[in-house]
Amino acid sequence: MIFRLIGSTPMRGQRDPSWRGALEDIDAYDLDDDAARARILSSDGLVIGGGADHLLLCRHREALSDFVRSGGRVLVNAQVVKPFIDGLAVWRKLEFSGAQDVHPHAVTAHPVWNGVDYRDLHYRTGVPGTHSYEKLTEIGVSGFYGRGYHLELPEGATVVTGIGQYSLPLDYSYPLGDGEVLVHGGNDLESFSDDRYSTGRIGPNLVDWLEGGSRGAETGTAPSSSIEASPTARHAATRPASARPAGTQSAPGDTPRIGLLHCGTFPPLRTLADPALAPYRPESVHLPDADPSVLAGLDVIIVGDRLHQGQLGRFAPAIRAALQDPAKTVIVLGENKVENWLPGVGYTFRPTVFWTWRTGEDNGTRLRLPEDPMWEFFTPRAVSWHHHGLLHPPAGARSLVVMEENGTDSGALLYVDEVNQPACLMVTTMDPVYHHGSGFMPGASQLLYSLLRWVTATHVPSRQAFVSAGGKSTTL
């Protein structure tokens, strides 16, 4: 059996290829349970999904490394921020300006890519049909397969795929004991298996490779030696040094205390490390290790996008309690199933349309309420890149970005509510932390920076000055 460790429910609307039946999805947090961990580590092979918690995986580094040493095979997806298996290299963002800068190239043959034409990995589109490579250069979006590289590869590593004109290491493999680690530095490798193209071989090839390890039935039951650390100690290790003690809100005139709620995946970890965010001093709130009571001490609560629903559920009552504090601002980002836990909000699924900037199609995004003071902080580009469905806010909320269908506004993509609860609430179906942390989609970075500017300028102690200036910002 092959287990795929995942960190969240797959995005709504994603397809599930038939070969995936060979993979059993397992919640990565099951690693913290002794019996579940023993079962996971008795498998033939493992896939580490791009949505898995790197801080969690680091606590189990010894056990995961021993799994490979005993003959197991592991596919590691996405961007490694904190190495959680011995030998893993940290991912680095590639500075790119065009499609050829992220063109993947075959470097060394590997059985997972047998029969795959690398040109079929270069572009993605949602335009219906099967398209030639020449057509995809006109309508496709590049960068999904990879937009970064690895340096300081482990001893014995082989570069499988290079990226860009210098063929920098994107995919690589290396031996560890009797096993092998395969690293793909982009969106989950198995998601590129498409039967319309040569990439349809990736899924079956991957299954065959993972099942080809040499593990013995008696291996893989030893728990990680590092998992005994208490939740309090683990949270302290991830809290920024500048953070004030829990329960202490900012004093009048201070920069607001901004907390980013996350589940240790690579996008928020890379986002929190971004020097451009340093002036705002965002604090890490790693949900698995934090206590919900920490929200009481924050002025601004940013509910990061694509959170693990179980971890988010533990914090939902504290988030709702924060909405009763008029001194707080709460921002809820996309792919969080808000209709299940945020009062008065409905949701309607719409597929994510990411390619319209290449085809010139109208994606229906409309900006409303042009006189609203919010628009001092947000540009059209910051709020019109893509979204993950429609919101139906309660009466009185201000829908600033909407979807227009057949001449009618069918739902909000971003709204602000300052009337249905004492706190200021913003909700969007856009996912800027994911895309900013992924180094993908400049509009997402603009939205993230704009959010931080907005909450800093309109923080309650400075809100009177903001109003007195006629809605014109008097702070950075």
Residue 416: both structure tokens together: 């602000």
Q: Give pLDDT tens digits for 373-387.
A: 999 999 999 998 888
Other Cβ atoms within 10 Å of 463 Cβ, number: 14
pLDDT at 131: 95
pLDDT at 225: 34
Q: For the whole model, what pTM was predicted?
A: 0.88
pLDDT at 198: 96
* Alpha-carbon span 315 to 293, nearest angstrom: 9
Segments in the chain below pLDDT 70: 9-18, 216-253, 460-476
Residue-by-residue DSSP string for 374-398: GGGT--GGGG-S--S-EEEPPTT-E
* Alpha-carbon span 107 to 333, nearest angstrom: 39
pLDDT at 358: 75
Cβ contact 56:32 at 8 Å = yes
Cβ contact 68:180 at 8 Å = yes
pLDDT at 10: 57
Which residues, at least 6 apart from 14, have a Cβ–Cβ distance to it below 8 Å?
A: 191
pLDDT at 461: 60
Share the mean pLDDT of the chain: 88
Question: What's the CA angle centered on 119, arms 113 and 124, to 5 degrees?
Answer: 100
